[in-house]
Structure 1
Amino acid sequence: MADVVQYKLERMVEELEDLEKRGIFSRREIAEIVKQRRKFEYRLKRPSPLKEDYLSYIDYEKSVDALRVLRKMNKEEEGKKKRRVSDYAGVARIVEIYRLASNRFKGDIHLWFQYLEFCRLKRNGHMKKVLAQVLRFHPKVPGVWIYAASWEFDHNFNAAAARALMQSGLRSCPTSEALWVEYLRMELTYLNKLSARRAELGEGVGTLVRHQPDPEEKQWREENKELFMPIGGENEDYKELDVQNEELKQKMDIFREKGFNILQTVYKCAVEALPSSFSLRAQFLEILETTNLANSENMQTEILADMKIEFSKEPGYWDWLAKYEGTGSKSAHEAIKVYDEALKTIPSSTMFDLYIKFLMDIIGRTGNRQISRLSDLSDSDIDPVSHVLMVFEKAESMQCITENLACQHVSFLLELGRLDDARDLAEKFCNGELSEAVNMWVLRLSIEMKRLTTPSKADFSLVFYLLQNPLRKIAVSKAESLWLMGLNYFSNQKQYFDKLVEISLSSLIRDGGSDDGFSLSSAIVNFVLQRNGIQNARDMYKRFLSLPRPGLAFYRNCIEMELNLASSAGGKAHLVETRQLYEAALSTYDQDESLWQDYHSMESKMGTSETTAAVHWRARKTLKGNATLLT
């Protein structure tokens, strides 16, 4: 190992001498560079070098080379342009390290791309060789074929090689959407370059890029048509010009026809390879819209028809189609028509949710929910607020209402300031099909609580009556927000707080405690601790501990509470209570390693050596020697 490292360092002598001779690095700096390189070389010669070793070496060499270039720019005399050994030795060394790393970690595609990017930036002539290697090792990665074709097309200006690479990639990865889309883009880009070249030579009339005229410019041209007409009427010169323009137009039509044939061929092959891909067709349609091709409208109609046949049962298709119809010069009214058609085809809650989200986005763009008309719905006068409410009602009538849609409906009414309507609707949902919807109950109770600014005893009784119904029916694990809302609201009302505790006891007997996540008993104990002190909190948690399954989360909460008090007050009573809690928890969860670890840690910090050793011995005996975490 040492001989190999020494040999590599000796090969650097010429480069280092040149750097010192030119005054780029001092002798002391060169000694430090040699020291660092020796360290990195020994790392690479280990039996199993890590990828980080190679990358650290590369980063160091890049920083050294960057410093060399900077100092060379400051020291180099004018007229001296001959490259010397130190000018290219750093890049060659980095390439060699990349080669070693890629040979050892052939499956790391990210490393290969770093290698390729370095070769592309430095233009050191290794690009083709590295591309051939990565294509050999990763023929099933579409990004590699796209990268290679892009380099041939943009850097070498070799369209034939780029085309061959893309076609080879499509044979290796026929189900890659990105490859099909990029192949089409490349072919159309090449055709567009040919058309632009003809136009520069005076043999064409433009490119294949579709021109989007400015509406104001278009209107001005229509209003001032006479400015673009010949002053003396048509004469022979203008007739000859028209003939020339017609010939140029015919040549342009040839390019447009070729572009259409390419798109049609690639589209058919791509659909055969990916018959169930919706995004592929959408991307092809996007390319078609931005390109000026012959028969583009017919092709657009064909693609849309295929998409409707294949994906008419998917809500995502209708949502995309509605947004597609509502963009550009098309009105949002067309999008609403699409959503209405979608509801007839697939009446589902997902479709209603997408429809309402679209309408909300339109209303949000106006900046005011109280508007009476939308300016962009030019084809028809539509009251957006009424339309959204109509869609909500339609979802309910078609039995597609969900908890999310119902909450959106109530919240929308609240934003409109229709408090009574929102309250009645929430009551209707809670008493009907959404009687166990937690979020709807939270919304209804929040409406009632906000309405009662200075609640009386009757008001407290009404809110408690509403609250107890879902608390008794819904599982504790699902009703976390309801319980917290009730405990907060009645925290200063002892009568109703005690009733909530009784309901919680019966609910926990039915559902059991939680081992992780939300713990109702822990929340109640914490409320009691803040309001009435530690003694009442102890009495409360002992009531919950007497239940059949208190839950590990509750044990941990009580232990944490006692430990906090023991560390702050320093009393032995808290330590005794903490030990009793650990013992009670371990009687049920004796195979929980983390619980034993916490117990052992507590004894090592607050107990004696005897109690610590006893816990350690019991843990090893119970866990059968697996108490490796006890240190």
Structure 2
Amino acid sequence: MAEFLAEMQERLLPEYEQLKKFEVCTDEQIRECIRKRDSLQLKITQKGKSVRDYADFILFERKVHKWVTEKERFHGNKLTGLKSSIASRIIRLYRDGLRAFPHEERFWDNFINFSKKSAPQEVSGIYEKMLTFYGDKPRVWCDAALWIYEYSSNIKKVKEIFFRALQRHPDSEEIYKTFFDTLLLSAIKMSTQKNAISSDEKIIRLEQVLIVYKNSKKIIQNINFFLSLLERCESEKFLNITTPLQKVIIDDLMTNFPRNEILWDTLAQRELRGYNMSDLNNSMDIKDNAVDGEQQSKDIEKTENFDNDQNLFQKRSLKRRIELCCNVYQTAVRTLETTNMWTKYINAMLKLNQDMSAEKVLKRKCLAIAFKEGHASRLMSVDHYCTYVQMLLESPTGVPIAEQTLMDALKIHKSIKLYELLLSTYIVADNEPKAYETFRTANDELGAQKCVSLWRSLIQFYKTHYNDCGKQLQKLFKEACQEASPDFGEFRCNYLDFCILNFSMQKTRSEYDKLCLLPPPCRELHQKMAALESQTVAKNQADMDRWRLCYVNAVFYFGKTNTQVWIDFIKFEREHGEPKNVSTLYDRAKNTLETELVDNFISEYTLLTHII
């Protein structure tokens, strides 16, 4: 081993001399470099070596390579030989590491990324070796084919890679998409070269794209896959040369997925972007019944007559595009009659109304039509009803329409959101009878537990109208306190505040005693009463006993599962009550709390005693 390291150092002497000559490293840095390399080399020659050892060695060599590059840039001279020597050593390390650990995918990826910059001619071979281990991953096949096309534009080799990939993964959407895209890129490259050979090649490429599409159609049945191909054809650089292909894809989509909401949404959005179907038909002069392969090939040949910069779609005004888009959506909702289709239609109109810099009146009109027709269809979603009503409420004349719309909607959707909107509408209008009626209806239909927000809103309304609705408020509070859902605990606390503000402390204490007996127990109730007791001006024994009772009740109901109730009780006795009770409470807490909570309680108690 020592002889091997000595031999390696000897081979590296010219490199160290260059590092010194070109002032990349100082003498001290060179000595450190020698020591570091010896250490790293020793690690990768041992039996227990790991991929991490190779990665560390490569990381160090890349660091040295960066030093050389920075010095080269600083002085403006070329250190090609020195950089090449380091790069070759890095590549050897990658190769050695992958021979030892061939199943480290990230190591392969790092090797390829490095080689693309330092030895691009080797990358294809690396991909071939990688495919022997990772041929089960479509991504690797696609990356290999794309690199070959990018580096050499050898379309024949690219197709060979894709054919092999499809033999291994015949139903891979990723491979078909990448193959489709690569052939399109090749076709557009041919179209930029103005000669007869290139024109013929372009037609061949487009025919091959069509073949790839037709083959994928036989295996893949996912609409999103075909929509992604159509979207790729709409790319600016492909738009005109793929016109017949777009028509073929759309015809197939209409045949195979005629009742899919995503398709109709896509067609409507194409109209909004200016890709009109009549333009597509007219530019290709395709008859409705001409969809066989021979006709498709003829259609593709027609693209050679068009300049790639010529726009085959007419330029239409924004107003016309919006109208055409809405026409498609309206056809869609009449054809499908589904909630999902109406949702897509209305969402599109809402999005259109986010930009009001142009055609403001038309956009608002289209949105209004969508809402009105959606409501009439009884297929509009709850969220869209909420949006629609909010817009109506913004208009002074829209309030009655909003109320009627909500009442109609509630016949379709028994939704808390709709009840909240209707209740808030009556509250804003100070219509207490209607508000209470809505509140009662919602509770009857949905159950009180789902209507907590309605209880909260109506209680707040009664608070702000206490002079007229004081009795209703007290009655509502008492009713809320009787509810067995834990979500209603907040109303018990609020009721104590109501009592202390409007009645006496005696009345508040009496109500608190009653509330303590109601299920389920509420810890916040005892905290609230303790806070109210702390505000009592007179601190006689009776008052102190009442104050202490709050903590007694808290530990009675929650002493097993909550450490904080004991800490609060102890703090009360130390600061306001009888300090001699603290040790008794401490022992009671340890004996009462569940076993897993005792250590936590002791820690909190210790911290408390240090603070005090």
1:482 Cα offset (Å): 3.2
Corresponding residue number in structure 2 for 1:474 = 446
Q: Say if 1:537 and 1:414 are closer, same or farther in 2 by CA, change over 3 A.
A: same
Corresponding residue number in structure 1 for 2:266 = 320
Could you tell me which runs of 5 or more consecutive residues in structure 2 were left unpaired when the two chains were aligned: 277-320, 533-543, 575-581, 604-612
In structure 2, how many angstroms separate the alpha carbons of the residues matched to 1:166 and 1:307? 25
Does 470-479 or 324-333 show the bigger shift?
A: 470-479
In structure 1, how many angstroms separate the alpha carbons of the residues matched to 2:451 and 2:273? 43
* 1:282 to 2:278 alignment: no
Corresponding residue number in structure 2 for 1:377 = none
Cα deviations across residues 28-73 of structure 1 (Å, max 9, x unaligned)?
445666787799899998979797x887776666455423421343
In structure 2, how many angstroms separate the alpha carbons of the residues matched to 1:612 and 1:564? 22
Q: Say if 1:33 and 1:602 are closer, same or farther in 2 by CA, change over 3 A.
A: farther
Does 461-470 or 96-105 show the bigger shift?
A: 96-105
Cα deviations across residues 209-235 of structure 1 (Å, max 9, x unaligned)?
xxxxxxxxxxxxxxxxxxxxxxxxxxx
Q: State whether residues 184 and 266 of structure 1, in contact with CA within 8 Å, keep that contact through their aligned partners in structure 2.
A: yes
1:194 Cα offset (Å): 4.0
In structure 1, how many angstroms separate the alpha carbons of the residues matched to 2:48 and 2:339? 60
What's the secondary structure of 1:83's corresponding residue? helix
In structure 2, how many angstroms separate the alpha carbons of the residues matched to 1:572 and 1:8? 92
Alignment length, in residue pairs?
Answer: 530
Q: State whether residues 149 and 155 of structure 2, in contact with CA within 8 Å, keep that contact through their aligned partners in structure 1.
A: yes
Corresponding residue number in structure 1 for 2:81 = 83
What's the secondary structure of 2:411's corresponding residue? coil
Q: Say if 1:118 and 1:281 are closer, same or farther in 2 by CA, change over 3 A.
A: same
In structure 1, how many angstroms separate the alpha carbons of the residues matched to 2:7 and 2:588? 59
In structure 2, how many angstroms separate the alpha carbons of the residues matched to 1:345 and 1:261? 34
Corresponding residue number in structure 1 for 2:386 = 407
**Aligned match of 1:502 in 478, 492, 499?**
478
Corresponding residue number in structure 2 for 1:178 = 174
Could you tell me which runs of 5 or more consecutive residues in structure 1 were left unpaired when the two chains were aligned: 205-250, 375-383, 453-458, 514-518, 566-570
Corresponding residue number in structure 2 for 1:392 = 371
In structure 1, how many angstroms separate the alpha carbons of the residues matched to 2:239 and 2:360? 42
**Aligned match of 2:256 in 299, 310, 320?**
310
Q: Say if 1:461 and 1:368 are closer, same or farther in 2 by CA, change over 3 A.
A: farther
Q: What are the within-5 Å matches in structure 2 for residues 349-498 of structure 1?
A: 349-367=339-357, 371=361, 373=362, 385=365, 387-429=366-408, 432-434=411-413, 436-452=414-430, 459=431, 463-471=435-443, 473-475=445-447, 478-491=450-463, 493=466, 495-498=471-474
Q: Say if 1:291 and 1:402 are closer, same or farther in 2 by CA, change over 3 A.
A: closer
Aligned partner letter, 1:446: S
What's the secondary structure of 1:313's corresponding residue? coil
1:347 Cα offset (Å): 0.6
Corresponding residue number in structure 2 for 1:147 = 143
1:430 Cα offset (Å): 6.6
1:502 Cα offset (Å): 2.7
Identity %: 15
Q: State whether residues 487 and 497 of structure 1, in contact with CA within 8 Å, keep that contact through their aligned partners in structure 2.
A: yes
In structure 2, how many angstroms separate the alpha carbons of the residues matched to 1:37 and 1:612? 64
What's the secondary structure of 1:418's corresponding residue? helix
Cα deviations across residues 72-96 of structure 1 (Å, max 9, x unaligned)?
43357x5x75613x76437734873
Corresponding residue number in structure 1 for 2:557 = 584
In structure 2, how many angstroms separate the alpha carbons of the residues matched to 1:539 and 1:124? 87
Q: Say if 1:154 and 1:622 are closer, same or farther in 2 by CA, change over 3 A.
A: closer
Corresponding residue number in structure 2 for 1:568 = none
Corresponding residue number in structure 2 for 1:265 = 211
Q: State whether residues 106 and 137 of structure 1, in contact with CA within 8 Å, keep that contact through their aligned partners in structure 2.
A: yes
Q: State whether residues 24 and 68 of structure 1, in contact with CA within 8 Å, keep that contact through their aligned partners in structure 2.
A: yes
In structure 1, how many angstroms separate the alpha carbons of the residues matched to 2:157 and 2:489? 70
**Aligned match of 2:184 in 165, 173, 188?**
188
What's the secondary structure of 2:254's corresponding residue? helix
**Aligned match of 1:338 in 320, 324, 328?**
328
Does 577-586 or 403-412 show the bigger shift?
A: 577-586
In structure 1, how many angstroms separate the alpha carbons of the residues matched to 2:31 and 2:588? 58
In structure 2, how many angstroms separate the alpha carbons of the residues matched to 1:116 and 1:540? 77
1:520 Cα offset (Å): 3.7
Corresponding residue number in structure 1 for 2:303 = none
Corresponding residue number in structure 1 for 2:160 = 164
1:481 Cα offset (Å): 3.9
Aligned partner letter, 1:429: D
Aligned partner letter, 2:181: R
What's the secondary structure of 1:155's corresponding residue? helix
Select the structure that is richer in helix. Answer: 2
Q: State whether residues 521 and 544 of structure 1, in contact with CA within 8 Å, keep that contact through their aligned partners in structure 2.
A: no
Q: Say if 1:193 and 1:123 are closer, same or farther in 2 by CA, change over 3 A.
A: same
Q: Say if 1:431 and 1:360 are closer, same or farther in 2 by CA, change over 3 A.
A: closer
In structure 1, how many angstroms separate the alpha carbons of the residues matched to 2:68 and 2:238? 48
Cα deviations across residues 476-506 of structure 1 (Å, max 9, x unaligned)?
5544543443454445546555444333334
Q: Say if 1:264 and 1:369 are closer, same or farther in 2 by CA, change over 3 A.
A: closer
In structure 2, how many angstroms separate the alpha carbons of the residues matched to 1:87 and 1:601? 71
Aligned partner letter, 1:337: N
Cα deviations across residues 272-299 of structure 1 (Å, max 9, x unaligned)?
120x2212322333455564888x6665
Q: State whether residues 426 and 443 of structure 1, in contact with CA within 8 Å, keep that contact through their aligned partners in structure 2.
A: no
Q: State whether residues 333 and 341 of structure 2, in contact with CA within 8 Å, keep that contact through their aligned partners in structure 1.
A: yes
1:605 Cα offset (Å): 11
Corresponding residue number in structure 2 for 1:66 = 66
Q: State whether residues 226 and 249 of structure 2, in contact with CA within 8 Å, keep that contact through their aligned partners in structure 1.
A: yes
Q: State whether residues 20 and 26 of structure 2, in contact with CA within 8 Å, keep that contact through their aligned partners in structure 1.
A: yes
Q: State whether residues 24 and 68 of structure 2, in contact with CA within 8 Å, keep that contact through their aligned partners in structure 1.
A: yes
1:404 Cα offset (Å): 2.1
What's the secondary structure of 2:378's corresponding residue? coil
In structure 1, how many angstroms separate the alpha carbons of the residues matched to 2:4 and 2:585? 56
1:391 Cα offset (Å): 3.6
Cα deviations across residues 155-210 of structure 1 (Å, max 9, x unaligned)?
1333222221122222222323232122122223334434544x2xxx34xxxxxx
Aligned partner letter, 2:67: L
1:398 Cα offset (Å): 3.2
